[in-house]
Amino acid sequence: MGILAAKVAIVTGAGQGVGQGIALALAGEGAAVAVLGRTMDKLESTCALVRERGGTAEPFLCDVTGTEAIPAVVDDVVARFGGVDILVNNAYSGSYGPLLSMSDDAFQKGFRSGPFAAFAFMKACHPHLKRRGGGSIVNLVTSAMVRWDPSTYGAYAAAKQALRSLTRTAAAEWGRDGIRANNIAPHALSPGLKWWTETNPEEAEEFRSTIPLGRIGDCEADIGRAVVALVGPDLRYLTGATVPLDGGQANFG
């Protein structure tokens, strides 16, 4: 039995990339995983990978920008699995580019899919986490929040910084309910980043050279396994933290 046996996890944006890696890692330690996202084919692919390894996973269609529908999605997960112990807010769809060329709607897009969606999931999951004797929330942020030059990443960094503050507040307010909340700021070889590295090999090599460990993280082995550690019993006294999973590239000090 894994360290997460009998636990139930919700992972948003789990159809590919980092979300899929986290779902696979959690399931590998025995958690039943609710795989959330906008595209059923991708969700089914993740669930199939989990099941091939002997794990349990079910797909749930969810566009996180439709925050009014999120409580019903959480209810569906609870009806299927009996509760929630772990919430991972990974889904994000934002905008990039210089501030002066960005529309208000484009700027707000990242907030709708980021802190607004996470807030809705966290509130909807709170009573279920508390009822199960506590649980763990992991929100995904970014090293762009602290990079020396956030040019063209300003809207992304702003939305993620808001999410970082939200996480810290939940850790402070919900700790007495047994609920822990932490952030991770990962670099991982998601499909998008993989495409970029293959399309721009010279720029990709320059990017890799700025990572002290010399490589871009693996979605499951590096990011997913770190999430397993965060939500597992060995780090039960850690809450309100931001953990940089970027091979030492960013300075969160």
Q: Which residues are catalytic?
A: 156
* Residue 251 half-sphere exposure toward CB, CA atoms < 13 A: 5
Distance between first and last Cα of the chain: 37
Structural tokens at position 202: 């010279």
Closest CA to 150 of 160, 135, 139, 163: 160
Nearest CA to 190 out of 35, 44, 20 is that of 20
- DSSP-derived 3-state class of residue 240: coil
For residues 154 and 67, what is the distance between their CA atoms, to the nearest angstrom? 23
Task: For residue 157, count other CB atoms closer than 10 A to its CB.
Answer: 20
b/e sequence 212-249, b meaning 16+ C-beta within 10 Å: eeeebbebbebbbbbbbebbbeebeeebebbbbbbbeb
